[in-house]
Amino acid sequence: MKPTLFVLAAGMGSRYGGLKQLDGLGPNGETIMDYSIYDAIRAGFGKVVFVIRASFEKDFREVVVNKYNGLVDVEIVFQDIDKVPEGSVYNPEREKPWGTNHAVLMGSNVIHEPFAVINADDFYGQESFVVLADFLRSVAGSKNEYCMIGYHVGNTLSESGSVSRGVCVVDKHNYLKNVVERTHIEEKGGTIVYLDEKGEEVAIPPSTPVSMNMWGFTPDYFEYSWKFFRDFLSKHGQELKSEFYIPLAVNELITTGEASCKVLDTPSKWFGVTYAEDRSQVVLKINELVRKGIYPKKLF
């Protein structure tokens, strides 16, 4: 059974000011997402599911999906604010959907095999998809065995400013204990530091694993998440900006012992456009990977 790649793309319309402006960064106008799809197909993923807003389905099919025809099975699901458990209520003035784990739930009717979750606008690197696909194939038919790709924090920094990262705390067998959000991470004088709760700088080793929202799940994760989402709405449904994040659900399952989450090491360098100034660096990095033969000049 081939694993499925689930791409979180529901934020695209608002973030990019319309899909027509999807940023082409590769030699032939490829987007960061194109490289993820290419890497996933190469690693043995059998299907790609995109979660988007229903309002830009037509554009998305024309601009994004058509290029993958004949290469991989593609499905589209929709994240909209009103997709909540039956009987749940929320503030009628709320405008935004409910965050990354709400987006994941939108795939529950079309994904029945182990699956990976990624952001549409992050460059994850070839090796990460290989590691992830291998793990997902190994847990086919199992339950409660999840994983997260743990990037070395030193491979995820921006040259244009500080970043926020989910710093992973793992046990001696590399199972996740929890993820702690750290802010203002940057390199200063050859040392990587973050700001703690008191505003003081704390040094961390470059190899410290951090989450870049690249996860692997078996399909039982959906059932747990629907239950957690119902509870979340009963507590936070009247708030206008509360978000139901993936680490919230994973942390709950780890804490109760219902599931495990293995942190898988990757040598890949993450990159993305955190700051406008990052764009030129991303273009250079992609061109360098093409020059080395890791990617063809034209992906699709």
> Low-confidence residues of the chain, pLDDT below 70?
12-21
State CA 142 to chain mean position distance.
22
pLDDT value at residue 16: 55
pLDDT value at residue 14: 58
3-state secondary structure of 180: strand
- Tens digit of pLDDT for each residue in 96-125? 888 899 999 999 999 999 999 999 989 999
State CA 50 to chain mean position distance.
12
Type of residue found at 30: E
Q: What are phi and psi of 284, to 5 degrees?
A: -60, -40
0.85 exceeded by pTM: yes
Q: Which residue has the tokens 């495990």?
A: 260
- Tens digit of pLDDT for each residue in 137-185? 999 999 999 999 999 999 999 888 899 999 999 999 999 999 888 999 9
pLDDT value at residue 17: 54
> What domains sit in the chain, N to C, each tagged with a CATH number?
4-152+209-291 (3.90.550.10)
Distinct helix (H) and strand (E) counts, the chain = 8, 13
Q: Which has the closest alpha carbon to 260: 142, 146, 94?
A: 146
pLDDT value at residue 51: 95
pLDDT value at residue 207: 95
End-to-end CA gap in the chain:
25
Are 297 and 35 in contact, with CB atoms under 8 Å apart?
no
pLDDT value at residue 181: 87
